[in-house]
Structure 1
Amino acid sequence: MSLSLTFTIAATKKLLNIYHTAIRPLEQAYKYNELRQHEVTGTYGETLALSAITSKPMVLFLGPWSVGKSSMINYLLGLHGTSQELYTGAEPTTSEYTVITHGEKFRTIEGIVMAADSSRSFSPLERFGQGFLERLVGIEMPHKLLERVTIVDTPGIIENRKQQERGYPYNEVCQWFIDRADLIFLVFDPTKLDVGGELEMLFRQMKGRESQIRLILNKADSVSTQDLMRVYGALFWSMAPLINVTEPPRVYVSSFWPQVYAVDTSQQLFRKEEISLLEDLSQVIENQMENKIAFIRQHGIRVRIHALLVDRYLQAYYDKLGWFSDPHEVFQDIADDPDKYYIFKSILVKTNVSKFDLPDKEAYQDFFGVNPISSFKQLSSHCSWTGGCLLEKLEKVISHELPALLSSINPGCEEKPKNRWRKQ
């Protein structure tokens, strides 16, 4: 086992220990995972923190049918011409979600088996029903790159197909994978730039994850240089209304397969673009431990803010509650107008709390609608002589332990994606 891999395993164990001893207790005490706000809890209110620590980086391929997603995966893994390559063709060939992971030998795994195995990070997919599991397949193979990353191929977007015709909740399934993806390759063909309802919905689902999106203009040598320039402009024109950010996603223009580039095309540009994309992918793999630590620290900050807010709601409730007051009416007034009681403003005077990190006030109306305020204890009650205070433990982790762990990381990706320019 290499030194870098040993270090990564040790750092992961330490990160898991930090999560279970300092973050998880406050999560449970204040039912953080029931805060119905997508960017905090993810699909179905399920926290992503634990899976973020234990899982490998995930690279997700999305895009219309027959744009070269499967061919691109074959190319990155060096599978072209082997018995293990993914099937490709001009017609819509990929109707399944294909999860490619590392294994001691090549084998395929049915979706129902993947969902039944609780040791796999894909077992929660069982909630999407039998219709989806029949379209889920796992592939294991002994590839060094897959020791460091998981690759997911998805069915092509077909704009004239209604979601109910797929037989499973397509958008919800995509959201599950988007929530867990470290890098999202959105692949296009120069001859297929149609933007319809399914693609627009996907972009809405990826809102907030723009930094992880990479647009791929694949099969770029299938058109002339002049036409390619027009297509490139048309791609930005089509995507601009869907990606409302100051800095647009990076666009890579090339042909990602082992065939020689067509003559009289921008071969030098394609070569540079391909190398740049491969370096981008390698960087995500190399930075996996830093990304995990940063994610868990941000998660810890959100848990801390949630605990402080619930504590402040409790304080306002007890301050207003009188001998003859109706407890429900008292708290309802606070929940309906928290600004009158300075609930959120009082949190901002706390150190390390930014107004941009505060959840929506409406989220707490829903939260307390299913979690009575009387079911919680104030933060001061979560202290003991032997164990200390839960809040102080979390603040120590956020301020000292996680930054120290981050500064100790020395990443190194030993395996690079295969391609015609980087020989193994």
Structure 2
Amino acid sequence: MRDRSHIDNTLHLSTTKPSEKFTDTLKKLQHIYHTAIKPLEQAYKYKELRQHEVSDAEITSKPMVLFLGPWSVGKSTMINYLLGLQNSPQELYTGAEPTTSEYTVIMHGEKVRTIEGIVMAADSSRSFSPLEKFGQGFLEKLVGIEIPHKLLERVTLVDTPGIIENRKQQERGYPYNEVCQWFIDRADLIFLVFDPTKLDVGLELEMLFKQMKGRESQIRIILNKADNLATQDLMRVYGALFWSMAPLINVTEPPRVYVSSFWPQEYASDTSHELFRKEETSLLEDLNQVIENQMENKIAFIRQHAIRVRVHALLVDRYLQTYNEKMGWFADPEEVFRDITAEPDRFYIFKSVLAKANVSKFDLPEAEVYRDFFGVNPVSGFKRLESQCGWTGGCLLDKVEKAIGQDLPALLSSLTEKKEMPKAEEKPKAAEKAKAAEKPKEEEKPKNRWRRQ
């Protein structure tokens, strides 16, 4: 068995950090969301547009690490290795054939127990209740495992079914791509695992890369089982992996690729042991960085959510304004609004919002999305933004803009100040003594004979 001490050292599992450190910041973040963002979100039914409503459980949840990739590339084995579960009753089942058919969520708990997907979705204290919308067939494929482990006190791991390119999507019994999208949207780190024998790209993998568009900074590609190859063959496989992935990753800087063998056995002889150890340590440092920056990531996520809610409210307001302007005494309301939703560019709806919201046009939803949205929610059921104001509460839009421009950035800066403060206060005693000894010398300056004393 390989030595695992570097895992504990890199992830700082021996030092237990008090959870009260971020409690105050979490409460402030929840307060900003509930008082400034959620009222506008509810007034313009943002949940029905994006199918996403931020809950308290999601704000307080631990960082999520998602494992994706073809079948039998070592995803479950890698989780067993990180948690030290090999040869224990809690070890995840692994094998050469497709073994993981469920979405397995590994969480922290006081004792080892298994939780059914139906129970996980029904528990409002967890962040998995929105998964109910994918149906009973999916909940039967969802399972949670609670284990008392130091790493799980700081992060949640999600093992997914392997990508099988020769299987039809309908055979899974649930919307596979939509479920993957749900986990991708909430993942803080995505490990995309391959092995040298499974580098082929098919429709499922291609669809996954499309779903991960915009999340490239969170993707880490892992070439696992690297000690099965000689060094020269490994270089060829590494090049083949990039050649396969290149058409799918439309970014100037490709994701980081880690080459190693993530399992508890010793590396095979006559392979690059030192390289594999360094790659493994780099991957662990990446994971530790996500854990350390979890609060900053939550604040950034809530701010991004607030920007989307503001853009949505401005778009609905602009649609409503155009509708009121085009309505006449004898006009047909349905026909007027059908013309507006069919050609929004003719009425400068999206362009006017771009000027107000200071966002990129690539961040705006498609026009077809609002055609479907207003098909379910009639525009006459909404109020103009200027009427969403109260004498005591103020305007809903002003609150969101204040949260985006002032409150959330101030909360983020206060968090960084707290981290830097101990470093600034910790001064070596030797340096202080040396400084004190130097003071008299600095005061003893030669007198200027030309200056009046």
**Fold similarity call, TM over 0.5:** yes
Which residue matches 2:351?
345
Deviation at 1:365, TM superposition (A): 2.1
Is 2:41 the partner of 1:27? Answer: yes
Which residue matches 1:421?
none
Which residue matches 1:419?
none
TM-score of the aligned structures, taking structure 2 as reference length: 0.84
- Taking a change above 3 Å as real, the CA distance of residues 51 and 366 of structure 1, as seen in their structure-2 partners, is farther
Q: Deviations over 1:167-221 (max 9, x none)?
A: 3333332222222211111111112222223222222222222222111101101
Is 2:21 the partner of 1:7? Answer: yes
CA distance in 2, matches of 1:350, 1:192: 48
Which residue matches 1:415?
none
CA RMSD of aligned residues (A): 2.2
User: Match for 2:48: what amino acid?
Assistant: E
Task: Show the 5 A alignment for 1:42-61.
Answer: 45-48=51-54, 52-61=58-67
Q: Deviations over 1:111-165 (max 9, x none)?
A: 2322333332223333333433333221101112111111011122222233333
Tell me how many residue pairs correspond in the alignment: 404
User: Which structure would you say has the larger Rg?
Assistant: 2
Which residue matches 1:145?
151
Is 2:324 the partner of 1:310? Answer: no
- Higher mean C-alpha deviation, range 173-182 or range 58-67: 173-182
CA distance in 1, matches of 2:297, 2:167: 37
CA distance in 1, matches of 2:353, 2:135: 42
Q: Residue 80 of structure 2 aligns to a residue in which SS?
A: helix
Which residue matches 1:196?
202
CA distance in 2, matches of 1:164, 1:331: 37
Is 2:117 the partner of 1:103? Answer: no
Which residue matches 2:229?
223
CA distance in 2, matches of 1:282, 1:166: 34
Deviation at 1:61, TM superposition (A): 0.8
Which residue matches 2:96?
90
The answer to whether the 8 A contact 1:186-1:213 is kept is yes
Deviation at 1:68, TM superposition (A): 1.0
Deviation at 1:351, TM superposition (A): 5.9
Which residue matches 2:426?
none
Q: Residue 106 of structure 2 aligns to a residue in which SS?
A: strand
Unaligned runs of 5+ in 1: 36-40, 413-424
CA distance in 2, matches of 1:291, 1:389: 28
Match of 1:388 among 385, 390, 394: 394
TM-score of the aligned structures, taking structure 1 as reference length: 0.89
Q: Residue 311 of structure 1 aligns to a residue in which SS?
A: helix
User: Match for 1:26: what amino acid?
Assistant: L
The answer to whether the 8 A contact 1:49-1:299 is kept is no
Q: Deviations over 1:377-404 (max 9, x none)?
A: 1111111111111111111111100000
- Taking a change above 3 Å as real, the CA distance of residues 68 and 307 of structure 1, as seen in their structure-2 partners, is same
The answer to whether the 8 A contact 2:57-2:125 is kept is no
CA distance in 1, matches of 2:312, 2:139: 35
Match of 1:169 among 153, 166, 175: 175
Which residue matches 2:307?
301
Sequence identity percentage: 79
Which residue matches 1:114?
120
